[in-house]
Amino acid sequence: MTDATKLTCLSCGQANRVPLAKLQAGPKCAKCATPLVEGRVAELDVNIHDKATRGDAFPLIVDYWAPWCGPCKMMAPAFAQAAQDLQFAARFAKIDTEKFPVVSQRLQIRGIPLLILYQNGSEAARLSGARPAADIAAFVRSHL
């Protein structure tokens, strides 16, 4: 079925099927009513990270960061701006690699900040280092 996409709620983890034509209408999670596509950066835990990165067809870009990382903190506003700019093209999220080291180990993350773009349940591309919003948006667009 190509006229709908699966979106995992980045708040509660509920799987939602959303018609592609309705993405710009502001679909909400069937369980918790959180907007599914809203142009903001969602903070993930390991369970929701795994559900969304492995199960969603819609593009999801995840920022792997840590609170002690200066470049990560510097890039956060640019990442948030890119999330607004690409609101209906991809969803944006971040996960704290210090709080959830199992994710870093599993994905063999050696340096942060690291952006990984997921699409159709698998990794599509990686971009390392702090980047301005325009570079983040160009990276996402080039892989869609």
Catalytic residue flag (residue 69) = yes
Is residue 133 a contact partner of residue 81, using CB atoms and an 8 Å limit? yes
Is residue 61 a contact partner of residue 49, using CB atoms and an 8 Å limit? no
Task: Give the residue from 102, 124, 101, 128 showing the smallest Cα distance to 115.
Answer: 128
Specify the pairing of strand 114-119 against strand 122-128. Answer: antiparallel
CA 60, CA 52: separation in Å to the nearest integer? Answer: 8
Q: And the tokens for 54?
A: 């492995």
Task: Give the residue from 84, 99, 85, 86 showing the smallest Cα distance to 49.
Answer: 99
Identify the active-site residue in 9, 12, 32, 72: 72
Catalytic residue flag (residue 32) = no
The DSSP element (H or E) to which 73 belongs, if any, is: helix 70-85
Active site residues: 69, 72
